[in-house]
Structure 1
């Protein structure tokens, strides 16, 4: 008779998913002063990623690596440049960025996102969560 299969481990407890990030909308848990600073572009960006002219897959891979590296380094504010793209709805990178920020591997890193100026919709300032170091 075949050996019995080992029992599957119990499912890992699911962390509650943070609310969806919407570029330009103040997220819960972020005070008004910090949000205004991010939205106005007053918070100095510690790093910038320019995705202008990249293909969608390359841009997505670059964004993931950029945000993970910034988070690991304890960076709090970054800027991602997608470019404005053809009007009226913008380019593919600008349209995809909100979806990418809400992906399961990036969503836990991001606290909020806003265009640094109402007329500059081709750039997004992103506030990363504080990294809690393992003790």
Structure 2
């Protein structure tokens, strides 16, 4: 005869995921001063990635490597240049980049995203979370 003993497991706390940032929209957890400095272009850019000339898949791979390196290096503010593109709705990389921000490995890194300048919709500035 086999005896089965039930073991009570501790309750699993649900993982609270942070919503992915949207371009030009202030994220929860971002204070007034940082948001103002980021949106006005007053933060020093630690590194810049230019995606001109890449096809979308290559651009994504470069973007992903760059974001991982940003975390390792402890960079706080980075800029990604996509270019405006030649189509009516802009280039394909420029259209795809906001979707890349929703990835589970990217979204937790980013506090805020804005266009680097109102007149330049082909470049984005990212405020990254500090490493803990």
Q: TM-score range by the shorter chain?
A: 0.7 to 0.9
Q: TM-score, normalised by structure 2?
A: 0.86
Structure 2: runs of 5+ lacking an equivalent: 1-11
Q: TM-score, normalised by structure 1?
A: 0.84
> Residue in 2 aligned with 1:81?
81
Change (3 A) 1:14 1:55: farther
> Residue in 2 aligned with 1:33?
33
Q: Deviations over 1:96-127 (max 9, x none)?
A: 11110111111111111000111111000001
**Greater C-alpha Rg:** 2
Structure 1: runs of 5+ lacking an equivalent: 1-11
> Residue in 1 aligned with 2:6?
none
Q: Deviations over 1:12-55 (max 9, x none)?
A: 86521111210111111101221121112110110000001101
Q: In structure 1, the residue corresponding to 2:116 is in which secondary structure?
A: coil
C-alpha distance in structure 2 between counterparts of 1:87 and 1:22, whole Å: 22
**RMSD of aligned residue pairs (Cα, Å):** 1.4
Count, aligned residues:
121
Q: CA deviation at 1:88?
A: 3.5
Moved over 3 A (4+): none
Structure 1 or 2: more strand by fraction: 2
Q: In structure 2, the residue corresponding to 1:15 is in which secondary structure?
A: coil
> Residue in 2 aligned with 1:46?
46
